[in-house]
Amino acid sequence: MNIEKESISSKDLMFAVFCFMQATVLRSGYIISITRQDSWAMAISGLLFSLPLVAIYAKLLKRFPGKNLFEINDITFGSVLGKIVSVLYLFFFVSLAALNTRDLGNFVVDFMMPETPIAAVFFVFLIGCVYGIRKGINNLIHLSTMLSIIIIAAVVINFILVLNNVYPGFLKPFFQLEPIKYVQATVSVVALPMGEIIVFMMLIPMLSKNAKAAKSFSLGLIISAILMIGVIIRDIITLGPLVPIVSLPSFESVRYISISGVFTRLESIYAIVLILLFLFKISILLYAFVLGLTHVLGMKSSDIESKTNESGQLQSQRKYTPLLLVSAIFVFFYSLIIFESVMENIDWGATAAPFFSLTFELLLPVISLLTAWLRRLGKKQEVKA
Amino acid sequence: MKLPAKISRAYLSSCSYFYNKYHKRLRYTVVLLLCVLICSCLCSCWSQREINSLAIVVGTGLDVGDQPDTLKLTVQIVKASEIGTNSSNDGNKSEGKAYINISNTDKSVLSAVRGISHIQNRRPYFSHNNILVFSDDLAKLDIKEGLDAFTRDYEARMNVHILISRGMASEILNEDASLEKTPALHIAGMMKDQNANPETAIVTVRDFLIATLSESTAPVAPMVELYESEGKKYAKLEGTAVFKQEKMIGELDKTQTRGLLWVNDKARSGEITVDTQWGQVVIEFFHSSSSLKPVKTEDGNIQMQLTVRMDGIVESNETTKDMSNLENVEMLKKEMDKVIHSEIEGALAKARSFSADIFGFGDAIRREYPQDWEVMKKNWDKAFPEIELNSHVDVELRSTGGLTKPVVPGGAK
């Protein structure tokens, strides 16, 4: 394992955040089914409401520079309560990993290989994730720049090619739905793709010295939101009233491309991009889970001093290998049993998922920040009490 | 936190013990196992589709079945081996058809598709389907089932052309296509050519579904029929079928279809024949576009405002008059205006008689005046025939083609 500490720059982190979110963005059906032709605006409102989340994470990181989420938990809540909070986060990470594995599996099985058992798909993709993590998560993050270029190029090219089959009038009328729908969709956008960047709080110790995590988070979110607007507008002007009823709007609108019989059947590009993105996302989530598990099980010194921590970090990187396989197997079975059907998955995404996610993305960080503030922990000069 | 830490440390140390001891051997074993595993993925045991076990469908027809509540599905399958051969040299023209049509009657589309396994040894593969033909008898009953099945299925695509046949759809797929080897490709090719002659609505599954989902718009689809010539039957596109609530309620003829396409901004290029006082002048138009906007009049009613823009060139002049003369150019523009107006009026009158909003007036109103639409949509069927359409045609005659003056007998001096 070629883990180097402090090797991730601001730019890498920004693109990693971007890639991490695009997997969900390209499956934007769940937002479009709520706000229909106004969904593109939800990317903007979602971004606006995600920036406070980033501000909370930034505050935490400023108080405890160079610490990851679980170390912060240990400091703020003490070793026992901190471990309990960390276990809650672990549950969140592994659930997200399983949910995304499930999404990927459903996509492959529904649209490409309908007779393949979904377990076979999970198995093959999780092997890929495990391999990627063993080769070093920071290599994967370095790759995200390239991956981002591929995604942006694919979306832009698809947008241009579908232009002769679109009708911009489908975007009208603007903002005629009940206001509650916009709130609902905004909460979904904040909770589902955008707030999930809390996972990157686990990677903070790997950042290079001069990297600014908060800036990368917000820039990554902004690029994602821009691309999300593009993708949603493309879907709406191509499919119009069909958008809320098809299961994968992006897939269907890319499928519609047919230029003089030459540029046709481009959905394979979309499928490849989506699979790459999901692999990236699952790898990050799985890594966060394994790293957290290593920490919670005390396989690494949880001293507050950064010197021992540095060596502890290196040790843990070497040591978590067996846990990685165990965790991957756990995710495999978890994603098998998590949903019986796509319908259940959609229902979860529309009703419970935002609240489930926001508990971990908003509530727990706010509690940590408040506790830290009340207990006057962290960097002295930052405490303005 | 002590106990889990102890357990995990013990677990880890045992792991690392084995890891260190059998490091190399383990590594090789793992690599070997991975290779075997990857190979097993490559052979694709599941969902495997070999080209020689597929029946590639290029056209599909749906008819009313002979039993009550049944559908007759006809799929046209290409015979790959015949596509490449030059049948005129083989001498066995009658046998050398490059396609076969398989028909099966069952309760639903999917059961009919699966039922084909009782007749043929290959499974139909619908990704390359080009056309979906419904017979008018079926269309008058309900085309919902066929549409849903052909959109939901993961193999089917939404850019398949929809056609309504006069008579049996299976007969249409059995026409004697002369230039193409399969009737389905012949009809699909014709659909692609209709851009140059706006007398046929080009409707894909997506367009049809979008119109169906609309609260007001009546879907349309082109019609296809057979004509006989020298004992052979050929397919021919003719007219447009009008739907309401997924049932066919009437037809538009060629000229009315043109009127429809002017309003729907689907007429791109074509020709207009103008009758002047001296004879016929044919004008080719291109770059045509139209915009339909609802406007509120002073008394609060909503009217539709249509602007049609186009460029034209004089394509043929059967008169002896000089059409490059600026006065005549103005006259031609006026005449074109008249022709287009009358075509639009024809389509409008027909649509009003069906009370079917084929132009999408309702959707246009919903987009511009959502509040008014909430009131209007309640009795749209009654309101639609009352809606006024003001059309304005804006023609620019660019040139007179390769000739400036007409060819007049004895005109050379």
**Interior angle at CA B88, CA B84 and CA B89, nearest 5:** 85
Q: Is residue B165 within 8 Å of B91, Cβ to Cβ?
A: no
Helices (H) and strands (E) in chain A, counts: 15, 2
Q: Which residues of chain B from 294 to 353 reach within 8 Å of chain A, CB to CB?
A: none
φ, ψ of residue A244 to 5 degrees: the values are -70, -15
SS3 state at B302? strand
Give the bridge partners for B242, in sequence order: B220, B250
CA A120 to chain centre: 24
Considering only alpha carbons, which residue of chain B is nearest residue A295? B5
**Highest mean pLDDT (candidates A135-144, A220-229, B37-46, B78-87):** A220-229
pLDDT of B261 reads: 93
Least confident of A125-134, A203-212, B296-305, B376-385: A203-212
Q: Under an 8 A CB cutoff, do A114 and B47 touch?
A: yes
Give the bridge partners for B100, in sequence order: B77
Nearest-angstrom CA–CA distance, A360 and A362: 6
Q: Across chain A, what does the average pLDDT equal?
A: 84
Q: Is residue B271 within 8 Å of B282, Cβ to Cβ?
A: yes
Spell out a b/e string for A214-226, using b for 16 or more CB atoms within 10 Å of the CB, else e: bebbbbbbbbbbe
Indicate whether A314 pLDDT > 70: no
pLDDT of A149 reads: 93
Q: What is the pTM of this model?
A: 0.84
**Which residues in chain B have Cβ-Cβ distances shorter than 8 Å to A322?**
11-12, 15, 19
Chain B interface includes A81 (CB < 8 A): no
Nearest-angstrom CA–CA distance, A230 and A172: 16
pLDDT of B138 reads: 92
Nearest-angstrom CA–CA distance, B40 and A266: 27
Nearest-angstrom CA–CA distance, B329 and A121: 68
Q: Is residue A227 within 8 Å of A25, Cβ to Cβ?
A: yes
Considering only alpha carbons, which residue of chain B is nearest residue A258? B159
**Which residues in chain A have Cβ-Cβ distances shorter than 8 Å to B213?**
240-242, 245
**Which residues in chain A have Cβ-Cβ distances shorter than 8 Å to B157?**
255-256
Closest CA to B101 of B138, B66, B63: B63
Indicate whether A312 pLDDT > 70: no
**Which residues in chain A have Cβ-Cβ distances shorter than 8 Å to B46?**
113, 115-117, 120
User: Maximum Cα–Cα distance for chain A, whole Å?
Assistant: 68
Nearest-angstrom CA–CA distance, A189 and B70: 46
Q: Is residue B228 within 8 Å of B253, Cβ to Cβ?
A: no
**Which residues in chain B have Cβ-Cβ distances shorter than 8 Å to A110?**
154
**Interior angle at CA B290, CA B284 and CA B296, nearest 5:** 145
Which of A319, A324, A343 to substitute to test the interface with B, most B CBs within 10 Å? Answer: A319
Q: Is residue A252 within 8 Å of A246, Cβ to Cβ?
A: yes
Local structure of residue A165 (DSSP, 8 states): G
Q: Outline where DSSP puts E strands in B22-122.
A: 54-64, 71-78, 99-106
Q: Under an 8 A CB cutoff, do A245 and B213 touch?
A: yes
pLDDT of B286 reads: 87
**Cis peptide upstream of residue A173 (ω within 30 degrees of 0):** yes
Nearest-angstrom CA–CA distance, B331 and B270: 20
Give the bridge partners for B221, in sequence order: B241
Where do runs of H (alpha helix) occur along B50-133? Answer: 80-83, 87-90, 109-115
Which of B158, B216, B264 to substitute to test the interface with A, most A CBs within 10 Å? Answer: B158
**Which residues in chain A have Cβ-Cβ distances shorter than 8 Å to B290?**
none
Indicate whether A313 pLDDT > 70: no
**Interior angle at CA B150, CA B148 and CA B156, nearest 5:** 140
pLDDT of A307 reads: 38
Considering only alpha carbons, which residue of chain A is nearest residue B37? A124
Nearest-angstrom CA–CA distance, A264 and A165: 13
**Which residues in chain A have Cβ-Cβ distances shorter than 8 Å to B366?**
173
Q: Under an 8 A CB cutoff, do A112 and B47 touch?
A: yes
Nearest-angstrom CA–CA distance, B125 and B55: 6
SS3 state at A58? helix
Q: Under an 8 A CB cutoff, do A299 and B370 touch?
A: no
Confidence of residue A23 (pLDDT cuts 50, 70, 90): confident
Helix (H) or strand (E) holding A237: helix A213-239
**DSSP states of B356-394:** -BTT-HHHHHHHH-HHHHHHHGGGHHHHGGG--EEEEEE
pLDDT of B90 reads: 47
pLDDT of B91 reads: 46
Q: Distances from the Cα of A356 to the Cαs of A188, A191, A364, in angstroms?
A: 11, 9, 12
Local structure of residue B197 (DSSP, 8 states): S
Q: Which residues of chain A from 42 to 71 reach within 8 Å of chain B, CB to CB?
A: none
In terms of phi and psi (left: phi > 0; alpha: psi -120 to 50; beta: otherwise), the region of A187 is: alpha
Chain A interface includes B36 (CB < 8 A): no
Q: Distances from the Cα of B314 to the Cαs of A344, B259, B321, B325, B398, in angstroms?
A: 63, 21, 13, 12, 8
Q: Which residues of chain A from 170 to 199 reach within 8 Å of chain B, CB to CB?
A: 172-173, 176
Q: Which of B4, B159, B210 sits opposite A297 (nearest CB)?
A: B4
Indicate whether A318 pLDDT > 60: no
Q: Under an 8 A CB cutoff, do A113 and B5 touch?
A: no
Give the bridge partners for B163, in sequence order: B133
Q: Which of A111, A242, A297 sits opposite B213 (nearest CB)?
A: A242
Chain B interface includes A137 (CB < 8 A): no
Q: In the predicted model, what is the mean pLDDT of residues A2-21? A: 80
Q: Distances from the Cα of B309 to the Cαs of A324, B263, B265, B288, B289, in angstroms?
A: 66, 11, 10, 6, 5
**Which residues in chain B have Cβ-Cβ distances shorter than 8 Å to A297?**
4-5, 8
Contacts of A279 (CB under 8 A, 6+ apart): A104, A125, A128, A129, A132
pLDDT of A383 reads: 45
Indicate whether A97 pLDDT > 90: yes
Q: Under an 8 A CB cutoff, do A240 and B210 touch?
A: yes
Q: How many CB atoms lie within 10 A of CB B125?
A: 17
Q: Which two tokens stand for residue A104?
A: 């990927």
Q: Count of CB contacts below 8 A, A vs B?
A: 72
Q: Distances from the Cα of A321 to the Cαs of A134, A136, B71, in angstroms?
A: 7, 11, 59
Q: What percent of chain A has pLDDT over 70?
A: 91
End-to-end CA distance of chain A: 44
pLDDT of B205 reads: 92
**Please, what is the angle between helix A39-63 and helix A213-239, to 10°?**
170
pLDDT of A6 reads: 58
Where do runs of H (alpha helix) occur along B153-297? Answer: 169-172, 183-193, 205-213, 254-263
Spell out a b/e string for B173-188, using b for 16 or more CB atoms within 10 Å of the CB, else e: bbbbbeeebbbbbbbb
Q: Under an 8 A CB cutoff, do B46 and A117 touch?
A: yes
Q: Is residue A270 within 8 Å of A158, Cβ to Cβ?
A: yes
Helix (H) or strand (E) holding B221: strand B220-229
How many Å lie between the alpha carbon of B293 and the closest alpha carbon of chain A? Answer: 11
Q: Under an 8 A CB cutoff, do A298 and B8 touch?
A: yes
How many Å lie between the alpha carbon of A196 and the closest alpha carbon of chain B? Answer: 28
Chain A interface includes B31 (CB < 8 A): no
pLDDT of B51 reads: 79
| Spans in chain B with pLDDT lower than 70 | 1-5, 8, 12, 14-22, 40-48, 84-96
Strands B99-106 and A258-259: unpaired
Q: Is residue B233 within 8 Å of B194, Cβ to Cβ?
A: no
